[in-house]
Amino acid sequence: MTLVDRVLLGPGPSNPYPEATAALAAPLLGHLDPVFLGILDETCERLRTVWGTDNRRTLPLSGTGSIGMEAAFANTVRAGDPVVVAVNGLFGERMCEVAGRYGATVIRVDHEWGDPVDVERVLAAHPAPRLVGAVHAETSTGVRSDLAALGAALRERGGDTLLLADCVTSLAGIEVAVDDWGVDLAYSGTQKCLGVAPGLAPFTMSERAWERRVEHPPTWYLDLGLIGDYVSGSAGGGRTYHHTAPVAMIASLHAALGRVLAEGLPSVFERHAAAGRRLQEGLVELGLDLFAAEGHRLPELTTVRVPADVDSAQVRRRLLDEYGIEIGAGAGKYASTVWRIGLMGHNARLDRAELVLAALRRVLGR
């Protein structure tokens, strides 16, 4: 079969770090092999560093990013629990859907798509919800919300409310500081700024969330009590088999995290910032309008309006066919009026920014 080589500049997956790809093809290990268990322990430790947490329960879940959202709700929400969700894009919408399936009484706080989360409105929605959910980096709109402020406000109010953060498109691209911000539960995906193929959901859970967890959730596969006994060992010390870990994907994540931490998180963030800044400047130079609210734009994922006289799908098809470049359509009601351009992980580079700008310039005839 002829292999097809793409430059993946959509909302994910992005092209993996070379170390991540090499690790995928390394000799496979058993999921109970002492060498693999060492890699797993080190992966969890490296995840603690990028999450900015000491949480013991920090691990890669065996599914794609969405499984992290499901695990968070399944392990914390009981029927009738009030749950406040800040909705400013597709993934806030999805939080409402998933929380509802686990029986939560969902209180939506709707925002215009493209705007960041309004902390005051979220706080005003309910005096003491079981959980507040918000998206740090909305993959559907390219918007960054201030979760530090949300966490500080919740802590100031006091009470038992847990804070859940969707960090699918932020982790290892912009700063995430779970402990400093007072985030109790957070999940990500591997195929964005972490620079790994899709297939794992890095996850972290505070002691506070652990103490308030649902002890016997409907899901067996995502029962964090059972998974934790395999990943971190049980209270008695030993590891208990739960399900066969996706060893190749974990080895790949381990390698990518090694690369990221060797470069250093400040340098990784600056690389994302510089690439995104250049892309956003360049798009404006092309006469295009950025979609996300100014001052709240993610560097790693840029949203831009499709000009009124341009066929969105045709441009994307030409970029793919003529240049091998994938960019994303918009999400939801913006499917044909917004493009999403990601410069994430290994693609967070000035050359990628210039490449997509040059190709867009040619295809748009500007």
Residues lying near a second copy in the complex (CB under 8 A): 3-6, 8, 10, 12-13, 15-16, 21-22, 24-33, 35, 62-67, 69-70, 74, 94, 97-98, 101-102, 189, 191, 197-199, 216-221, 242-249, 320, 326
Dist CA 144 CA 292 (whole Å): 9
Nearer to a second copy, 24 or 185 (CB): 24
**Measured from the CB of residue 243, what is the shortest distance to a second copy in angstroms?**
4
**Measured from the CB of residue 156, what is the shortest distance to a second copy in angstroms?**
32
Rama region for 188: left / alpha / beta (φ>0; ψ in -120 to 50; rest): beta
Dist CA 205 CA 44 (whole Å): 12
**Measured from the CB of residue 258, what is the shortest distance to a second copy in angstroms?**
8
340 is in an annotated binding site: yes
Nearer to a second copy, 13 or 282 (CB): 13
Dist CA 357 CA 241 (whole Å): 49
Nearer to a second copy, 64 or 273 (CB): 64
Dist CA 199 CA 186 (whole Å): 17
Nearer to a second copy, 74 or 178 (CB): 74
**Measured from the CB of residue 157, what is the shortest distance to a second copy in angstroms?**
29
**Any idea what DSSP says for residue 335?**
T
**Measured from the CB of residue 365, what is the shortest distance to a second copy in angstroms?**
24
Nearer to a second copy, 254 or 296 (CB): 254
**Any idea what DSSP says for residue 355?**
H
- Write down the residue that tokens 């993610």 correspond to: 298
* Residue-by-residue DSSP string for 34-89: HHHHHHHHHHHHHHHHHHT---SEEEEESS-THHHHHHHHHTT--TT-EEEEEESS
Q: Which residues are annotated as a binding site?
A: 340
Q: Which residues are annotated as a binding site for substrate?
A: 340
